[in-house]
Amino acid sequence: MEKAKISDKLYVLGRREKTGGGTLNIGRYYALDGSLGSHVYIDALKPHVVLICGKRGYGKSYTMGTFIEEIASLEEEARENIGIVVIDTLGIFWTLSQPNKRQVNLIKKWGMDAKNFEIKIFSSEENVNEYRNKDIDAEELLIKTSELNQHHWAQLFNLAPTDYVAAAIGRAVNRAREKKEDFDIEDIIEFLEGDDRLRDEIKVVAENLLYMAKEWKIFDKNGTSIYDIVKGGRITILDISPFAEELKIVIVAIISRKIFEERVKERRKYEEMLMEGSNKRKEEIPITWLAIDEAHVFLPEEECLTKDVLIKQWMRQGRQPGVALILATQRPSSLDAEVLSHSDIIICHRLTAQEDIDALNKVRPTYMQGEIGDAIKRIGTEKGVALILDDTSEAVHIIKIRPRLSWHGGEEPSAMIKND
Ligand SMILES: Nc1ncnc2c1ncn2[C@@H]1O[C@H](COP(=O)(O)OP(=O)(O)OP(=O)(O)O)[C@@H](O)[C@H]1O
Ligand SMILES: [Mg+2]
């Protein structure tokens, strides 16, 4: 696909300079009569927090897919320094590996061609077999048991940290950590059994829970290496759809913390390299864009383990280490308020629930004249049309997101099969 040229008059959203490479061509400006104007570009070189919101079925996951395709289509120099990790809670993003045959005419109208993207999936054993049957590169996702602290175990079993059973598991985990560098659930059970300060009935419950966790076949002495998960120039999909919500939260908390910590280390190495006067980048974990659909699961108003990582680290400190987020949610009002205030690019598809409009109004930037609700009314009911608020250029636009080149997997099941 030939990239449209950037005109000097245009802003690159999320960037102060008007031109340069490393941009995502996510769509075109949309006029109220439905006609399409110039191309819209978003900066991909700096870390951003992009929030996509809108009511059910108006294009959030689709837009997220377009973003992912665009990052994967960057010029090689930029692309190889960026890794994309998709947190797929519904198991819908594997279709990036298939061309979009459903909207061929629409894609043609935009002067593009359908295509498939190379992806790597990590998921449960059962899903991996299914993906491999479809010839998709897939591997089992394994979490290193020693990465879980007492809070993770309490979250997994829905226990308050002050609960006796949670405390018993916490003691055994600490013991295992003191005695061994790497350990598995069997080791924790052994330390639990050997703990003579615990009553038998507590041991029995704790042990039962740990045996249950073993059955999930996700915890492992070594775990999947973070270097296999994040790779420059690659789309990695973590299909966590088979797992229970508590487990999803623990997986995302552990993996996103690991990425953040590794990026902080990389950043230090990069700084040292600049001091030595070398300009050869040798990053192991590249700048990472983490895409999270159904983001309210991980960033709710209530207490949640993932918020400690995603808000306190990724959002508050992410600029330095170079980690970026693309979040999508149906319910901006149910997100932690800090998420809205950290989002520097907000893409809002049709939205009608008053509480969601109110939530956006609360963080409405000063450069925006009038109420968000009025602006959203102007975008009408067309799918893929959105209001975009860009903090960097301090501008608000109405845009139409370009069609997906690869198959969009989030469509609602319908009794009638339809193509465009
Ligand atoms: N930019 C677009 N161009 C063409 N069609 C689009 C576009 N955006 C969305 N659509 C159409 O709208 C449908 C619904 O989009 P999508 O699955 O992204 O909705 P959603 O907002 O994620 O919904 P949910 O809240 O149920 O997850 C898509 O299957 C596609 O047919
Ligand atoms: Mg969706």
- Concatenated DSSP letters for 196-244? TTS-HHHHHHHHHHHHHHHHTT-EESS---HHHH--TT-EEEEE-TTS-
pLDDT computed for residue 143 by the predictor:
98
pLDDT computed for residue 18 by the predictor:
75
Residue 396: what are its φ and ψ, rounded to 5°? -120, 135
Q: What percent of the chain lies above the pLDDT cut of 70?
A: 94
Q: Is the dihedral of CA 202, 204, 207, 213 positive or negative?
A: negative
Look at residue 7 and tell me whether its pLDDT is greater than 70.
no
pLDDT confidence band for 362 (50 / 70 / 90): confident
pLDDT computed for residue 332 by the predictor:
95
Look at residue 126 and tell me whether its pLDDT is greater than 60.
yes
> Rounded to 5 degrees, what angle do the CA atoms 239, 255, 150 make?
115
pLDDT confidence band for 1 (50 / 70 / 90): very low
Each residue's pLDDT tens digit, 256-297:
999 999 999 988 888 888 888 776 655 589 999 999 999 999
* Number of residues that this document lists for the chain: 420
H helix and E strand count, the chain: 15, 15
> Rounded to 5 degrees, what angle do the CA atoms 222, 227, 230 make?
125
In sequence order, which residues have a C-beta less than 8 Å from that of residue 294 and are 6 or more positions away? Answer: 89, 90, 328, 329, 330
- Give the nearest ligand 1 atom to 294 CA: 27
88 CA distance to ligand 1 middle (Å): 16
60 CA distance to ligand 1 middle (Å): 6
Q: Give the residues surrounding ligand 1 with Cβ less than 6 Å away.
A: 54, 56-62, 330, 383-384, 401, 403, 408, 410-411
Ligand 2 ion local residues (Cβ < 5 A):
60-61, 410
Q: Are 242 and 126 in contact (CB under 8 A)?
A: yes
- Domain limits, the chain: 12-138+224-401, 144-220
pLDDT computed for residue 2 by the predictor:
45
Range 312-330 average pLDDT: 95
Cα–Cα distance list, 135 to 32, 42, 94, 129, 131 (Å): 44, 33, 11, 10, 6
pLDDT computed for residue 161 by the predictor:
84
Q: Are 50 and 396 in contact (CB under 8 A)?
A: no
Supply the CATH classification number for the domain 12-138+224-401.
Answer: 3.40.50.300
Report, in angstroms and rounded to the nearest whole number, the Rg of the chain calculated over CA atoms: 23
